[in-house]
A and B are shown apart, each in its own frame.
Chain A
Amino acid sequence: MWEKLKSLTLLGLILTSFYLTGELWLVHYSPPTPGQQQGEYREPHPLEIMMPTAIKIHFATESRAYSPGETGFNETWDFLRSMISGGHMVSVRSITERDWLRAYALGSIELKLAGPVQMRMWLEALSVQPSGLSTDHRMDRVMTSIHSNHVYFWDTERGVFIAWENAARQDQPSRVRDLTSQHLLAASTNWPGQEVRPLAPNLRAQAAAWVYVPADPGLWPQLLARHERGQNNHLIAGFFPDWSLVRRVVQRDGRVAFTDGQRHAYLHPDGAVRYVATSWFHPLHDINARASLILASALSFVARHGGWPAEVRMNYMGVEQPPGGLAQINFSFVPYTSFTLEGRSQFVPIVAREKQVSLTANERHVSDYERLVYLPIDVGASPTRIITPEAAVRVVERNLLPGILITDIYIGFYQRPIDAAAEFLFPVWVVKQGRQMFLVNAYTGEIVSR
């Protein structure tokens, strides 16, 4: 009898031990969160994301374009940087388009950025002291000319032109003009580049004077690109310091929402990720004066949450100051891909109507982050002739906004919705009127609708 009792007691204790162990390990033990991969992550320097996407050199009888990676690009970029870096901006004024055109035509070097950035921030990245420059000035083109010693900036979206007067050193008053002339001579001799031209005469009046297109668009491949969907779980987990406090719910529109009460993350059915953080604080600083610091923190944030594509450029920067609300800066970035086509380097944006990498940041933290990035893998094997830029303009002509000039035309790869992990993206002509963008399938000439 006693032995039977002992046996039952032992059995009970063993079962209790199983139960308590199960409670401890299966219920109360939280496995490690699927957090960020440890180790190095690439964080681009601010100047990297504000580098030109193309450089054009306008000679007396022709114009040529140079893409990053192409001979002539680095040489010209380094030349311009060395000419203006370390300078002090003492005098800047608005100029007319006519003044700008006089300097532009027949002898100039033009840098094209991906989109308008705060001029002050760009110059600071080049170690220029932008004293006397308002934080309101934005630009996406920079130019030096053989006709003057100014450095010219303009915002193609708003049609605003600015001249940095006396950019040369006082002991070398004609330095800008002289060095530009020398560089043009070197370029014409040594660097063939890609020939570019204005639009055909019958369409030229519809485009701004700075719009140049490839002389011969040639053959273009498709781009094999992959989705980031597989990484999204890690990305989401990385937003929350304590995963055990996170609530998750799948919504009927297909979004998966995660929140810990203060931070919210959403995973959309198309793979886009959105992160929103709320906090209460009273701003202490003028946000425009801190734009460079805020940009640096934004670059670091993206590096830690999803990472940066290998090639990327900032294509928008704007300060939002809602009445009674918190001042914030919105940054938008677009990925690029570089490859060689017919022996020539190409640097091509991956174009999307949705935001690809976009952040809003205040003086303390990133409050909004959206991400839908396709990563280029390789170009397709059978390049195909594409339609001319004039054909693309004719296709969208009836959709163009009346009374507004075309401000840019270029080729990109269209980031279309894809289901598989990797698919081919076709090239498109991008026709821009300010912030308005029209896409035309460069193979078929069909408008890519919203």
Chain B
Amino acid sequence: MDWRRGKSILIISFLILNILLAGRLYFIPEIEMYLSLAGRPSLEAVFYALQTHGIATDREWPRSATRMPFTQVSLRRLAAGEIMTLRQRMLGDQTVPQTEQVVPTDDKPLSFTAGQRDLVVTARGHVSFHNRAVLPSPGGVSAEEAMRIAGTFFKTELGNPGDFVFDSVTALDNASYRVEYVQTFRGHRVFPGYIIIIVQGQEVAAMWMSRLNVAFEAGGAKVVLPAAEAVLSLLNHRLNARVEGQMEIVDIEFGYHSPIYDAADPSWRGVPVWRIRTKDGVFFINAHSGVLES
């Protein structure tokens, strides 16, 4: 056989081989899912089960990719320059540093004071701000007003971080509001990353921020449950525990979840979850396995 003919045969062989490999890697899992070869119940059955227990199914169900990988999550230590910028924005030029070091250490956070305002930065990347001059005002503000005030603080004092999005506003007991932002990564929420702003009267009384480093794990993407199945899983947990009352869903969001560890490892795994907010609390359902994350 001459080499030219041999090359042609090899090209065709490798082409077929690569088609098979690519199909196995990228297409067959989706085909399996859509043809229910993985054995999961169809959404019609899921909806029926939810409706039987009084859960409305005519809402807009959020969607996610059919397969999602784990993430690797790590603490994000703030550099000296970032700390200086935060200090400048939040406390201004009259700041008095309370500690001598330039960056926080594990046993000694960095703290600054300007009048009644304090800023503390820890080595684990947690930032907290307090304005002790802010007092509750009798009339209070509305939720929309609180969001506007928090939004202004978010833009001016925090520099409008592009990787955080508005998440929720909650009324607190003393005529104040907690406005929460959650970190995002490639369009997905990363729930352990947060900015929480307490609005009291017309001002920001306190702020806490935790921003994480996030990266997708290479490979290992697994099939993700649809949102309706996650809700069904939560419902099953409630029925098992005989929790009384109907489950009322406030919202459902897809994202990544992980505890914050005091880790020696440089990073650890975050899992894809469906965060389900109900009137009884917030629950995270593992989007790969359907278990309630505890």
Contact = CB atoms under 8 A, between A and B. Distances in A.
Interface of A: 3, 6-7, 9-10, 13-14, 16-17, 20-21, 23-24, 27-28, 242, 244-245, 247-254, 257, 260-262, 264, 278-282
Contacts of B70: 247
Contact of A24 (B24, B222, B243, B291): B24
A248 B264 CA distance: 11
Contacts of B7: 3, 6-7, 10
A252 B11 contact: no
Contact of B291 (A252, A262, A281): A262
Interface in B198-226: 218-220, 222
Contacts of B265: 249-250
B4 A13 contact: no
B289 A16 contact: no
11 contacts: A6-B8, A7-B7, A17-B14, A27-B220, A244-B222, A245-B289, A251-B264, A257-B261, A261-B286, A261-B291, A264-B294
B289 A17 contact: no
B15 A13 contact: yes
A339 to B, nearest CB: 41
B84 interface: no
A261 B25 contact: no
Contact of B262 (A242, A244, A252, A264): A252
Given A249-B261, A251-B264, A261 B14 contact: no
How many chain B residues sit at the interface, stated as a range, is 35 or more
B294 A278 contact: yes
Contacts of A14: 14
Given A17-B18, A24-B25, A261 B219 contact: no
Contact of A10 (B11, B241, B264, B291): B11
A24 B28 CA distance: 13
B271 A28 contact: no
A27 B286 CA distance: 22
B15 A261 contact: no
B76 to A, nearest CB: 16
Contacts of B261: 249, 251, 257
B293 A282 contact: no
A259 B61 CA distance: 29
Interface in B238-294: 238, 240-243, 258, 261-265, 268-269, 271, 286, 288-289, 291-294
A242 to B, nearest CB: 7
Main secondary structure of the interface of B (DSSP, over half): mixed
B21 interface: yes
A9 B265 CA distance: 44
Nearest to B237: A280
Contacts of A257: 261
Given A3-B7, A27-B220, 8 more contacts: A9-B11, A13-B11, A14-B14, A247-B70, A247-B258, A251-B262, A261-B291, A261-B294
A318 B17 CA distance: 63
Contacts of B240: 279-282
A382 B222 CA distance: 60
B31 interface: no
Nearest to A26: B219
A23 B219 CA distance: 8
A250 B268 CA distance: 9
A17 B17 contact: yes
A24 B26 CA distance: 10
Contacts of A24: 21, 24-25
B14 A13 contact: yes
Contacts of B49: none
Contacts of A242: 289
A253 B262 CA distance: 8
Given A6-B8, A17-B14, A280-B241, A252 B263 contact: yes
B259 to A, nearest CB: 9
Contact of B18 (A20, A248, A260, A278): A20
A10 B269 contact: no
Contact of A244 (B17, B220, B263): B220
Contacts of A21: 21
Contacts of B10: 10
Most B C-beta atoms less than 10 A away, residue of A7, A14, A280: A280
Pick the 10 closest A-B CB pairs, nearest first.
A27-B219, A280-B241, A13-B14, A282-B242, A20-B21, A249-B268, A247-B269, A278-B294, A262-B291, A261-B293
A17 B238 CA distance: 49
